[in-house]
């Protein structure tokens, strides 16, 4: 790390109580807190004259920070990057789906390396598979009353208004509500092992925002397979078998008493509803995709899925924008740098080239856009069929204006022939 200790009149003095180390790359002093009586923070203590005899080394668990060599053993026991014990609700790859390495016999070339004939063949397969699908979705743009005052505040500009629409988490909190955050990859999350859900036997509403690509498939499998299936198995298990399987009869009697006191119905729905904002289809993965059976029925497989999910980025690719649109988008991006709004990647598309003539191949910009939307629709249709097979009534709709987000499609699902329970989490 290159740094120097410039004269105070050249850069000013460090903030009181902060590190006196000058970071040349950032043209400012380090902002970390220095210990009482010290000039430098722990990270930069090695530059202090009185501590020159102690050597700092990179942490072997995370090379982004350093540690005193003579304190390495102690540091490794408390480093935030150390491997931590896995919680009970961690089950390796429980929501990953089956892995079949024989489905893709060899590494696939990128779309740019395909011949015109190969690309035409893929597009023909896509259009044939998409025949009969409804590409016109219903607008369901809504707003919660809790946000009305903030959204209508004349002091908020376009950027602030968009930020409010995106950052709505926690606006509905009440004093008697219970919130628990689980830091775990959805791929390994077993909801039925979470104490609050298993003890209280609460139905779940799955809400997903920015579950990019494969994360949507992992979440769907987590809800309708892992959680719902385990709850239904427990529901249907004979009482005598439950008594043998559980730890003690006393525990069973206690749970039964709690169940009666809370008036939990005998027949309940483990998953009361699903709401997921879909995005980044180019980040999908065949192994995790829940619509494999749908693709196979259409005569499609892993190879076609691979190219369709890559081509899906054409729907939101910057190449389709006019010069005026590109200018507006550039301005909006500058605005977004001043807030904390969440962004999606563009799947490798560039926004600098807006001319149709510069596109290689035989497709126009508008044709690529339509093909990209067809790819998204087909992938989402596989998810729709999956949910239908699992006993849900799913639907796709637009949940926001494309000026707010180009990824503006919402997937919702309710269990068939049942009403949503009053108590949800």
Model pLDDT, residue 178: 76
Query: 267: pLDDT confidence band, cut at 50, 70 and 90?
Result: low
Please determine, for residue 247, whether its predicted confidence score (pLDDT) is greater than 80: no
Model pLDDT, residue 238: 41
Query: What is the mean predicted confidence (pLDDT) over 279-290?
Result: 94
CA distance linking residue 183 with residue 49, whole number of Å: 41
Model pLDDT, residue 34: 87
Query: What is the mean predicted confidence (pLDDT) over 388-397?
Result: 95
Query: What is the mean predicted confidence (pLDDT) over 151-157?
Result: 77
Please determine, for residue 299, whether its predicted confidence score (pLDDT) is greater than 50: yes
Number of other CB atoms surrounding residue 205 within 10 Å: 15
Please determine, for residue 125, whether its predicted confidence score (pLDDT) is greater than 70: yes
The pLDDT mean for the chain works out to 76
Query: What is the mean predicted confidence (pLDDT) over 183-203?
Result: 87
Reported as a single tens digit per residue, the pLDDT across 169-181 is 555 556 667 778 8
Model pLDDT, residue 362: 73
Model pLDDT, residue 221: 95
Query: 68: pLDDT confidence band, cut at 50, 70 and 90?
Result: confident
Model pLDDT, residue 345: 57
Query: What is the mean predicted confidence (pLDDT) over 393-422?
Result: 82
Model pLDDT, residue 210: 77
Query: What is the mean predicted confidence (pLDDT) over 365-394?
Result: 95
- The whole-model pTM stands at 0.67
Model pLDDT, residue 242: 38
Query: What is the mean predicted confidence (pLDDT) over 337-347?
Result: 47
Q: What percent of the chain has pLDDT over 70?
A: 68
Number of other CB atoms surrounding residue 161 within 10 Å: 15
Model pLDDT, residue 313: 93
Query: 372: pLDDT confidence band, cut at 50, 70 and 90?
Result: very high
């Amino acid at each position: 790390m290159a740094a120097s200790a410039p004269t105070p009149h050249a850069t000013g003095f460090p903030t009181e109580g902060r590190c006196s180390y000058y970071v040349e790359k950032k043209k400012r002093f380090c902002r970390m807190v220095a210990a009482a009586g010290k000039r430098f923070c722990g990270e930069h203590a090695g530059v202090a004259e009185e501590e020159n005899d102690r050597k700092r080394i990179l942490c072997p668990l995370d090379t982004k920070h350093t540690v005193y060599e003579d304190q390495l053993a102690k540091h490794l026991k408390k480093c935030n990057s150390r491997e931590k014990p896995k919680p009970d609700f961690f089950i390796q790859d429980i929501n990953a789906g089956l892995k079949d390495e024989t489905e893709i016999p060899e590494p696939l070339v990128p779309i740019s390396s395909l011949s015109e004939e190969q690309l035409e063949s893929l597009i023909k397969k896509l259009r044939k598979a998409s025949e009969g699908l409804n590409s016109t979705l219903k607008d369901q743009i809504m707003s919660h009353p809790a946000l009305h005052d903030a959204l209508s505040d004349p002091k908020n500009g376009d950027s602030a208004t968009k930020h409010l629409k995106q950052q709505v988490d926690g606006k509905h909190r009440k004093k008697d509500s219970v919130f628990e955050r689980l830091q775990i990859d959805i791929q390994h999350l077993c909801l039925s092992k979470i104490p609050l859900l298993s003890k209280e036997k609460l139905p779940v509403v799955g809400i997903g925002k920015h579950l990019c690509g494969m994360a949507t498939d992992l979440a769907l499998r987590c809800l309708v397979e892992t959680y719902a299936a385990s709850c239904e198995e427990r529901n249907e298990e004979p009482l005598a078998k439950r008594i043998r399987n559980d730890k003690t009869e006393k525990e069973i009697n206690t749970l039964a008493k709690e169940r009666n006191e809370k008036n939990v119905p005998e027949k309940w729905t483990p998953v009361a509803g699903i709401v997921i904002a879909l995005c980044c289809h180019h980040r999908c993965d065949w192994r995790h995709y829940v619509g494999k059976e749908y693709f196979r029925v259409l005569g499609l497989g892993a190879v076609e899925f691979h190219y369709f999910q890559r081509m899906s980025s054409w729907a939101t690719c910057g190449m389709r924008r006019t010069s005026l649109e590109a200018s507006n988008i550039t301005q909006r991006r500058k605005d977004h740098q001043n807030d904390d709004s969440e962004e999606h990647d563009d799947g490798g598309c560039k926004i600098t080239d807006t001319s149709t003539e510069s596109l290689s191949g035989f497709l126009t910009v508008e044709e690529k856009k339509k093909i990209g939307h067809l790819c998204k629709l087909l992938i989402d249709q596989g998810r729709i069929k999956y949910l239908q097979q699992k006993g849900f009534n799913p639907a796709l709709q637009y949940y926001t204006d494309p000026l707010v987000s180009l990824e503006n499609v919402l997937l919702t699902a309710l269990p068939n022939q049942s009403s949503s329970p009053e108590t949800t989490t």
